[in-house]
């Protein structure tokens, strides 16, 4: 263990500071497709009974009209966060009719590209902006790719922690800058070690054969309807033969917040020839927001993002530059098709210990080849993480993945113990032990269990997924929400519809001008 980590553990372990770790915040966003009784994409509009996808804070849509997204508040205890997610699922199921929520990350058998409906947010300028942005995504990456679902885990360390560490370490920067530097350091370590999360929680070793639309690929045929890789953990996070050439040269430097925001700002302002060729309009209609490498900063696909809550009308980069980093969003987690919510409290407790380790440990700046190695290790594990004797790269040397995983878990153990000391009980240590068991026995990983379940039932990927989806639906429908909670969800759905109607009635200004000023807002940010 590094000296820095030891000193920080000792400081946080002092009685006066121990309760700080109870103030970490956790939020979850879960995406899932709506499907029909036969496991096909539901082509119905977003159910009105769920409220407005534009203004409902807990239930929205992601890329497609069929791709729901559930958003919990940020809460101190992940068990409460999961309970909030559970209530959203129960409410949604009360309004879904004969449709189901698809259980895994990789999509159901999809219709032709042109039939996949893009999410619609009404006629307000902001609603139209969201729609045009998604049209741009379809143009740039295809609609099929956008139907993949995931779990985003939002995590923050308590605000009071940073001044405490800054004083103890006599750092010559402001509290806000110290906090941002610490989160950027967490992100660097996350990039170094996130291959471990893909091994432990990857749950997409197989997919529907139609997903690749006849493109060349390196996958193997499991049955007439299923493609897979025998040792894969998360095909969702692999390249799958899709390459975003525009984003290929865009790996933001995670040395400090300024270099990160700068690289994204440039990407949003730099034209990319193939997009310029298409232009922003076809037959007088908008087809993408601009012809730059990124239309907006959120288009950058990354496994983890630094975040700050934005004010109305403010862009993510503006918020980060104005007020620093507030939390991180982990974006590489697969939905576990065996879990009704796609994630459980054991996974959450381990993630907390893992993220705390990334945030408190020494995190040197990336040397020239290290950034590339981190990416290569990640891609190796998503494609062949359960392969016996798998080797990864560490500091220019080959290292056995299993040995490195065990070593990492041993280093994370003191963080799990500290969290248990702070919260009482042994839940974090038990969560860590559950991961150690998976490292010692790959058959315990979700990816291995998916393949085992498909083999046991002689099912294709789509058949397995539909069976899981229906089992989860039965569970949620069997235990509806208490009347009072149901009424509260219904009231907030109605309120969101009223908010959207009000926005549309009071809209002033031309959409073209609105898009222009939205673009200008990023160009106006000075270095």
Instruction: Give the range among 153-157, 254-258, 396-400 with minimum mean pLDDT.
Output: 254-258
pLDDT digits (tens, 9 = 90+) for 159-182: 999 999 999 999 999 999 999 999
Inter-axis angle of helices 461-478 and 78-95, nearest 10: 90
Contact 88, 70 (CB under 8 A): yes
Report which of 356, 365, 357 is spatially closest to residue 408, judged by C-alpha positions: 357
CA within 13 Å, CB half, 319: 15
DSSP assignment letter at 91: H
pLDDT digits (tens, 9 = 90+) for 90-116: 999 999 999 999 999 999 999 999 999
pLDDT at 243: 60
pLDDT at 242: 58
Three-state SS at 69: strand
Tell me the two tokens of residue 306. 């630094």
Report which of 297, 292, 265 is spatially closest to residue 276, judged by C-alpha positions: 292
Q: What is the CATH number of domain 3-523?
A: 3.30.590.20
Of all helices (H) and strands (E), which one includes residue 33?
Answer: strand 25-35
CB-CB neighbours of 507 under 10 Å: 17
Tell me the two tokens of residue 342. 């796609």
Instruction: Give the range among 28-42, 45-59, 311-325 with minimum mean pLDDT.
Output: 311-325
pLDDT-derived band of residue 371, with 50, 70 and 90 as boundaries? confident
The residues, ordered by sequence, that sit 6+ positions from 91 with a Cβ below 8 Å of its Cβ are 59, 481, 485, 486, 489
Q: How far is CA 85 from the centre of its chain?
A: 15
pLDDT-derived band of residue 130, with 50, 70 and 90 as boundaries? very high
Asked whether residue 521 carries a pLDDT value surpassing 90, the answer given is no
Beta strands in 386-527 (DSSP E): 391-394, 397-400
pLDDT-derived band of residue 241, with 50, 70 and 90 as boundaries? low
Torsional sign, CA 216, 292, 333, 442: positive
pLDDT-derived band of residue 312, with 50, 70 and 90 as boundaries? confident
Q: Which residues on adjacent β-strands are paired with residue 61?
A: 68
pLDDT at 11: 97
> In three state form, how does the secondary structure of 98-126 look?
CCEECCCCCCCCCCCHHHCCECCCCCCHH
What does the alpha-carbon distance between residue 253 and residue 264 come to, in Å, rounded to a whole number?
A: 10
pLDDT digits (tens, 9 = 90+) for 400-412: 999 999 999 999 9
What does the alpha-carbon distance between residue 129 and residue 279 come to, in Å, rounded to a whole number?
A: 16
Tell me the two tokens of residue 291. 């012809």
pTM above 0.95, yes or no: yes
The residues, ordered by sequence, that sit 6+ positions from 35 with a Cβ below 8 Å of its Cβ are 41, 42, 66, 99, 100, 101, 102, 108, 466, 469
pLDDT at 313: 81
Report which of 408, 407, 432, 438 is spatially closest to residue 352, judged by C-alpha positions: 432
Report which of 174, 195, 193, 161 is spatially closest to residue 363, judged by C-alpha positions: 193
Torsional sign, CA 227, 233, 237, 242: negative
pLDDT at 346: 98
Between the alpha carbon of residue 354 and those of residues 37, 247, 363, 442, the distances in Å are: 39, 28, 14, 20
Asked whether residue 126 carries a pLDDT value surpassing 60, the answer given is yes
Average pLDDT for 333-356: 98
Asked whether residue 525 carries a pLDDT value surpassing 70, the answer given is no
Residue spans of the domains in the chain: they are: 3-523
What does the alpha-carbon distance between residue 251 and residue 300 come to, in Å, rounded to a whole number?
A: 9
pLDDT at 328: 98
What does the alpha-carbon distance between residue 33 and residue 49 come to, in Å, rounded to a whole number?
A: 17
Tell me the two tokens of residue 282. 């076809």
Distant-in-sequence contacts of 512-521, Cβ < 8 A, 24+ apart = 514/125, 514/129, 515/129, 515/132, 515/286, 515/289, 518/129, 518/289, 519/289, 519/290, 521/315, 521/318
Of the chain, the end-to-end C-alpha distance in Å amounts to 37
pLDDT at 526: 47
Asked whether residue 527 carries a pLDDT value surpassing 70, the answer given is no
Three-state SS at 399: strand
DSSP assignment letter at 257: H
């Amino acid at each position: 263990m590094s000296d820095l980590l030891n000193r920080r553990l000792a400081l946080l372990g002092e009685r006066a500071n121990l309760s700080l770790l109870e103030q970490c915040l956790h939020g979850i966003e879960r995406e899932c497709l709506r499907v029909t009784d036969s496991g096909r994409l539901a082509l119905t509009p977003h159910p009105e009974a769920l409220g407005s996808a534009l203004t409902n804070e807990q239930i929205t849509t992601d890329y497609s009209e069929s791709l729901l997204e559930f958003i919990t508040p940020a809460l101190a205890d992940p068990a409460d966060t999961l309970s909030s997610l559970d209530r959203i699922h129960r409410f949604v199921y009360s309004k879904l009719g004969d449709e189901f929520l698809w259980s895994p990350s990789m999509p159901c058998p999809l219709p032709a590209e042109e039939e996949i409906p893009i999410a619609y947010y009404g006629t307000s300028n902001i609603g139209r902006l969201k729609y045009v942005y998604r049209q741009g995504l379809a143009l740039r990456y295809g609609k099929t790719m956008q139907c993949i679902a995931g779990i985003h885990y939002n995590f923050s360390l308590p605000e009071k922690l940073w001044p405490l560490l800054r004083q103890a370490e006599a750092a010559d920067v402001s509290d806000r800058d110290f906090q941002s530097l610490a989160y950027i350091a967490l992100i660097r370590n996350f990039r170094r070690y996130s291959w471990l999360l893909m091994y432990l929680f990857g749950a997409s070793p197989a997919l529907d054969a139609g997903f690749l639309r006849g493109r060349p690929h390196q996958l193997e045929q499991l049955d007439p309807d299923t493609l897979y890789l025998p040792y894969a953990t998360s095909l969702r996070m692999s390249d799958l033969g899709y390459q975003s050439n525009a984003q290929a040269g865009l790996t933001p430097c995670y040395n400090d917040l300024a270099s990160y925001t700068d690289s994204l700002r440039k990407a949003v302002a730099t034209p990319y020839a193939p997009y310029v060729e298409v232009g922003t309009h076809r037959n007088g209609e908008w087809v993408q927001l601009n012809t730059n490498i990124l239309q907006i900063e959120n288009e950058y696909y990354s496994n983890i993002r630094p975040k700050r809550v934005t004010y109305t009308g403010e862009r993510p980069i503006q918020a980060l530059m104005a007020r620093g980093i507030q939390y991180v969003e982990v974006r590489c987690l697969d939905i576990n098709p065996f879990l009704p919510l796609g994630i459980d409290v054991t996974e959450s407790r381990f993630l907390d210990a893992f993220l705390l380790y990334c945030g408190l440990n020494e995190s040197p700046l990336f040397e020239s080849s290290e950034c590339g190695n981190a990416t290569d290790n990640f891609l190796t594990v998503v494609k062949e993480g359960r392969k016996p004797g798998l080797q990864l790269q560490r500091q220019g040397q080959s290292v056995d993945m299993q040995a490195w995983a065990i070593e990492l878990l041993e280093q994370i153990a003191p963080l799990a113990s500290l969290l248990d000391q702070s919260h009482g009980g042994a839940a974090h240590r038990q969560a860590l032990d559950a991961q150690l068991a998976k490292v010692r026995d790959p058959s315990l990983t979700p990816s291995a269990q998916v393949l085992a379940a498909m083999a046991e039932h002689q099912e294709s990927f789509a058949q397995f997924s539909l069976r899981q989806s229906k089992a989860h639906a039965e569970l949620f429908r069997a235990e509806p929400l208490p009347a009072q909670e149901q009424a509260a969800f219904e009231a907030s759905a109605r309120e969101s519809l009223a908010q959207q109607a009000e926005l549309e009635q009071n809209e002033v200004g031309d959409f073209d001008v609105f898009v222009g000023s939205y673009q200008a807002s990023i160009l106006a940010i000075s270095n």
